[in-house]
Structure 1
Amino acid sequence: MNNRFFLFILSLLFFASCSSPRNLAYFDNLREEAVVTEKIANAAEAKIQPGDLLSINVTSLSPESNVLFNRGALPTASNTNVSGVTYVQETEGYLVDKSGSVVLPILGRVKVEDLTREEAENQLTSSLQTYLKEPVVNVRFRNFKVTVIGEVTRPSTFQITDGNVNILEALGMAGDMTAFGKRENVLVIRETKDERSMVRLNLNDKDVLKSPFFNLQQNDIVYVEPDKARAVQASNSSRNISIIVATMSVLTLILSRFL
């Protein structure tokens, strides 16, 4: 009878731990060579979209005029520069409206939708040359963020200062996937204007580097799906099996003293 209990316990342990092997390697089909070189076909810089908050900083040889454009920047009496005027860091920024434009002093409404930061800087610099001496424009995203959730070490929303991040960098900021994360089935959710796109990426396959979703855009959501082992681990049946196994172990010890 004692042997039957042991066999029963071993059977429970076997079925509880039984799971198919999974590939935990990124780009598993990448050739094992010293150097693998490919042309980058999907290098897409983030483009300005309605709802973006932009930091637009203008400097020129006319520091007094700069104040008109540097929203939130105020002259201060201390720490003066060569021109005699300094400015505190801007705090408000410019919101891109539904029409894809920002409203700047003097220039009025300026269309910036679907422009990269560099393209927006060039356009604004050209427009400001009529009013300022040798203007230099610096544009930055103030609200560029990506969210990584699911089977990662530190799920969170991350602010991206330079407006450039790919899915591997985002996973790195989240502490990488856990062993339960499906590397072959990572979901990216992207919203642009009135359209939502959802695509599943296989990070075991090196061809994911060519995907237009490999480089993330502002407000993208990355979801790492858990595998079946995690689902079993979190289910009530799994906890019940653990309780049954523990109970059977105690009963086996007790019975072994009397049999």
Structure 2
Amino acid sequence: MIKKISLLFLIAISLASCASKEKIVYFNGINSDQNLETAQSNFETKIKPDDALMIMVTAPDLRSAEPFNLPFAAVMGTTTGLTLDNVNVQPRYQTYLVDRNGKIEFPVLGTLSVGGFTKEQVITDLNKRLEKYINTPIVNVRIVNYKISVIGEVIRPNSYVIQSERISVPEALALAGDLTIYGERSDILLIRDLNGVKTHYSIDLTKSDFINSPYYYLQQNDVLYVKPNKTKINSSVVGPNTTVIISTISLLITAIAIILR
């Protein structure tokens, strides 16, 4: 009788610890010979309020471009120690902060609307405006505070500055070290600010059609929250020592079965 109870107990533990492949593996349903193209393969980041833009204007005649650039900001720094002898001044490019109406104040040209436009569109617009003053202007635009945040059940939850200004959800999760075994893969929360309104979406990494989702690529200041799965939630209720207790009971039942044999 003890042997039967022990066997049933061990079988129950084994079944409880089994997980479905479909709940763990990403992008289920993709064939090895299937080529997938995202619906947003030409995705480009659009400029939003509170973006910090570094805009540099150059030309073959460098002096003609000088009035259209912000002056350098002097940044004080020290090498070793805190004495005045070790203080050095380093120049740093100033940036344009996009206001809540999507506008910036540009030297000579005045107020410019950049909110909702891609970098390429801003560059094209600036080139046309600058052609009146500069021969062959060259414009470079960069968002210097482009960041995303990944929190919850990942290895390295943090905020990450993205240099390329384009990142997908899988790439963002890779930066955070991927999901832990306790991360809910079928219901990741994406929080996004759209025109001052916080919106949220659910992302299912276990479905292959997610690659064609409009949320495959992230926007600046997006937040990904990986929820804990049922195993993690249940373990928080019963306590962290549950596994040890179950293992101890299993060993005791096995020992009793051997003694009573």
Q: TM-score, normalised by structure 1?
A: 0.79
Which residue of structure 2 lines up, in the alignment, with residue 47 of structure 1? 46
* Alpha-carbon distance between aligned partners in 1 of 2:130 and 2:247, rounded to the nearest angstrom: 76
* Alpha-carbon distance between aligned partners in 1 of 2:111 and 2:252, rounded to the nearest angstrom: 77
* Alpha-carbon distance between aligned partners in 2 of 1:102 and 1:225, rounded to the nearest angstrom: 38
- AA aligned opposite 1:73: F
Q: Structure 1 residues 184, 145: closer, same or farther in 2, change over 3 A?
A: same
* Alpha-carbon distance between aligned partners in 1 of 2:92 and 2:128, rounded to the nearest angstrom: 22
Following superposition of structure 1 onto structure 2, how do residues 136-175 of structure 1 map, counting pairs within 5 Å? 136-175=138-177
- AA aligned opposite 2:65: N
Q: Structure 1 residues 238, 214: closer, same or farther in 2, change over 3 A?
A: same
Q: Structure 1 residues 237, 228: closer, same or farther in 2, change over 3 A?
A: same
* Alpha-carbon distance between aligned partners in 2 of 1:27 and 1:244, rounded to the nearest angstrom: 34
* Alpha-carbon distance between aligned partners in 1 of 2:8 and 2:91, rounded to the nearest angstrom: 67
Q: Secondary structure at the match of 2:120?
A: helix
Greater shift, 121-130 or 244-253, is seen at 244-253
* Residues 61 and 132 in structure 1, CA contact (< 8 A), matched pair in contact too: no
Which residue of structure 1 lines up, in the alignment, with residue 70 of structure 2? 71
Following superposition of structure 1 onto structure 2, how do residues 21-32 of structure 1 map, counting pairs within 5 Å? 21-23=20-22, 24-32=24-32
Q: Structure 1 residues 144, 41: closer, same or farther in 2, change over 3 A?
A: closer
* Alpha-carbon distance between aligned partners in 2 of 1:64 and 1:247, rounded to the nearest angstrom: 82
Count the aligned residue pairs.
Answer: 245
Which residue of structure 1 lines up, in the alignment, with residue 133 of structure 2? 131
How far the C-alpha of 1:16 sits from its partner, in A, is 10
Q: Secondary structure at the match of 2:241?
A: helix
Q: Structure 1 residues 9, 220: closer, same or farther in 2, change over 3 A?
A: same
Which residue of structure 2 lines up, in the alignment, with residue 93 of structure 1? 95
Deviations 1:9-55 (A, max 9, x none): 9579829954653532221111232x425473564311011111101
Q: Secondary structure at the match of 2:145?
A: coil
Q: Structure 1 residues 62, 138: closer, same or farther in 2, change over 3 A?
A: same
* Alpha-carbon distance between aligned partners in 1 of 2:196 and 2:45, rounded to the nearest angstrom: 18
* Residues 144 and 163 in structure 1, CA contact (< 8 A), matched pair in contact too: yes
Q: Structure 1 residues 62, 49: closer, same or farther in 2, change over 3 A?
A: same
Q: Secondary structure at the match of 1:183?
A: coil
Greater shift, 13-22 or 99-108, is seen at 13-22
- Are positions 1:109 and 2:111 aligned together? yes
* Alpha-carbon distance between aligned partners in 2 of 1:65 and 1:121, rounded to the nearest angstrom: 18
Which residue of structure 1 lines up, in the alignment, with residue 211 of structure 2? 209
Which residue of structure 2 lines up, in the alignment, with residue 200 of structure 1? 202
* Alpha-carbon distance between aligned partners in 1 of 2:37 and 2:217, rounded to the nearest angstrom: 16
Q: Structure 1 residues 59, 144: closer, same or farther in 2, change over 3 A?
A: same
Q: Structure 1 residues 237, 17: closer, same or farther in 2, change over 3 A?
A: farther
- AA aligned opposite 1:28: N
- AA aligned opposite 2:48: Q
- AA aligned opposite 1:230: K
- AA aligned opposite 2:25: A
Which residue of structure 2 lines up, in the alignment, with residue 176 of structure 1? 178
Following superposition of structure 1 onto structure 2, how do residues 53-64 of structure 1 map, counting pairs within 5 Å? 53-64=52-63
Q: Structure 1 residues 192, 64: closer, same or farther in 2, change over 3 A?
A: same
Which residue of structure 1 lines up, in the alignment, with residue 79 of structure 2? none
How far the C-alpha of 1:119 sits from its partner, in A, is 0.6
- How big is the alpha-carbon RMSD for the aligned residues of Structure 1 and Structure 2? 3.4
* Alpha-carbon distance between aligned partners in 1 of 2:247 and 2:7, rounded to the nearest angstrom: 9
Q: Structure 1 residues 237, 27: closer, same or farther in 2, change over 3 A?
A: same
